[in-house]
Structure 1
């Protein structure tokens, strides 16, 4: 409850309606003193952000450990006891990307590891490419060499229009950047654009749910609320794993606490993969077998769709490197 001092004047400052009690019956504004201390403003901001009293922590607890509870409560009309779905998602997104921007150190470390692993794969790929004459365009180092093959090379060495376009882009990028710089720019761009990627995925995720369920019983809006809560959960688990990894990283890689980070990552990943099934089963009220089949199919469909979007994003990022 608010502890703001109630004004003696019974006229609402917002709509000029007569206020007999604490809140205006016309517009709902609290009839409290509008001049506040900085401390008061800070507390008010925090209360508004977390919906005050125990709503924030109650929401987080249910989101983590009680799949679909928030969605069912929201759609049943019990909305003041929890953070609204959109506010919840925005709040978790803000904290997640704030933490990523403040503690990006391990990203570069992982880039180095990824680069080493990828270089091995590239070496293997190049060995197999060397054995195929019709794939020699992967070895082009300059645009001049590429154009020379296109003009004077044998027919089986020439590229079609799409292959030529992609090879030309690849040469421009590799001439300008090292492999490590390309990885760094890609990771930076990925995390910067991740909110956009998720916002693109969410309506499609809800659409696939709509396709698999009774259209008369469930509206697209219902699937949308379920999707918002599910994606909020995924972001929250990622945030927890990231924070634990950052904290443990302060003690060094050889610290015994590194096992805590590994265990947290393992448990979080397993819970992320399993969570959708009980959430689906409890929310839609179908039998466990039906719910399992639908969950499995939806998981495959959405995974393929997300993979498709990420592939397009990788190509887009690669082509638009400056």
Structure 2
């Protein structure tokens, strides 16, 4: 046997990763391919798209069920047909990242905290003070009575929070909006993601007696919220002149969840509607309260 043939035989019969004996295209011990080469730029790009953006055949299969067959993707996963679809967590994370990126870069106004009052004159400073103290005294003195009361109430809870609220209120309106937006985009995605277990818990409570495990409710939560992020992303990306298409997205977003709930959990239309209303009230209240709390901590602490 020649040297080149021997090297090829050793390359094909031993795994370079774990040195296990192999007889096929993949190592039976660790799963690594036995025939390796330095990947081309095209192969690098394909690997990135396939593993991180999930642009592959099973993405389109997953999207078809997610968009047009409410709840069927969840049922497929529960019944064991999984390898043909994108993993639920990857699907949720992909669409949530796209949604928040669109909000951030599309110019959609999340909150506007501009000054609505007429400019107030600064009171004269009679007592000598350092430059920093004088500046704080002037800006603090410009606060309205209601704002001073808010600062005092926050200070009673925690002196540090009180200082943070005062510092925020003395900012110009534009800087307030910018600070609030920075805090929103920095922490809101994490807050909403952490509410997925709570969403699943609401489902668990609403469907007591269904004998479904918590993991099944969590799976449904990932799929239904992935759909919501996708619809909202399409709504934002659609030009404002296409009002009819935007209306279609909103209508489908409204009726999608109860349809999916009935397909996955069963039950009458009336009972499903009541559960859907309760679920929306609980979940939206949790989202608003959590986002406000997280953004508030980021701004004031």
TM-score when scaled to structure 2? 0.74
The answer to whether structure 1 residue 180 and structure 2 residue 174 are counterparts is yes
Deviation at 1:142, TM superposition (A): 5.9
Does the CA contact (< 8 Å) of 2:92 and 2:226 recur in 1?
yes
Pick closer, same or farther for the CA change 1:94–1:111 going to 2, 3 Å. closer
Deviation at 1:52, TM superposition (A): 6.7
| Structure 2, gaps ≥5 residues long | 1-7, 119-137
Deviation at 1:194, TM superposition (A): 2.2
Does the CA contact (< 8 Å) of 1:111 and 1:183 recur in 2?
no
| Structure 1, gaps ≥5 residues long | 1-6, 124-140, 150-156, 249-257
The answer to whether structure 1 residue 274 and structure 2 residue 286 are counterparts is no
The answer to whether structure 1 residue 88 and structure 2 residue 70 are counterparts is no
**1:148-173 Cα shifts (integer Å, max 9, x gaps):** x9xxxxxxx99996366587654432
Deviation at 1:42, TM superposition (A): 1.8
- Tell me what 1:302 maps to: 283
Aligned-CA RMSD value:
3.4
- Tell me what 1:202 maps to: 196
The answer to which structure, 1 or 2, has the higher relative contact order (CA under 8 A, 6+ apart) is 2
**1:1-322 map, 5 Å:** 9-49=12-52, 53-101=56-104, 103-104=105-106, 106-107=107-108, 110=109, 114=112, 119=116, 143=140, 162=153, 165=156, 170-175=165-170, 177-214=171-208, 217-244=211-238, 248=239, 258-260=240-242, 262-320=243-301
Does the CA contact (< 8 Å) of 2:188 and 2:295 recur in 1?
no
Deviation at 1:243, TM superposition (A): 2.4
- Hey, what's the Cα distance between the residues in 2 that align with 1:26 and 1:266? 53
Deviation at 1:315, TM superposition (A): 3.5
**1:271-312 Cα shifts (integer Å, max 9, x gaps):** 222221011111112222221111111111222222322332
Indicate the SS of the match to 1:259: coil
Pick closer, same or farther for the CA change 1:298–1:97 going to 2, 3 Å. closer
TM-score when scaled to structure 1? 0.70
- Hey, what's the Cα distance between the residues in 2 that align with 1:186 and 1:158? 21
- Hey, what's the Cα distance between the residues in 1 that align with 2:300 and 2:286? 21
Does the CA contact (< 8 Å) of 1:206 and 1:223 recur in 2?
yes
Pick closer, same or farther for the CA change 1:15–1:171 going to 2, 3 Å. closer
**1:69-122 Cα shifts (integer Å, max 9, x gaps):** 221111111111011011112222333344445x24x24xx379x557x94xx8
Does the CA contact (< 8 Å) of 1:206 and 1:227 recur in 2?
yes
**1:30-53 Cα shifts (integer Å, max 9, x gaps):** 333232222222223323346575
Equivalenced residue count is 267
- Hey, what's the Cα distance between the residues in 2 that align with 1:158 and 1:60? 51
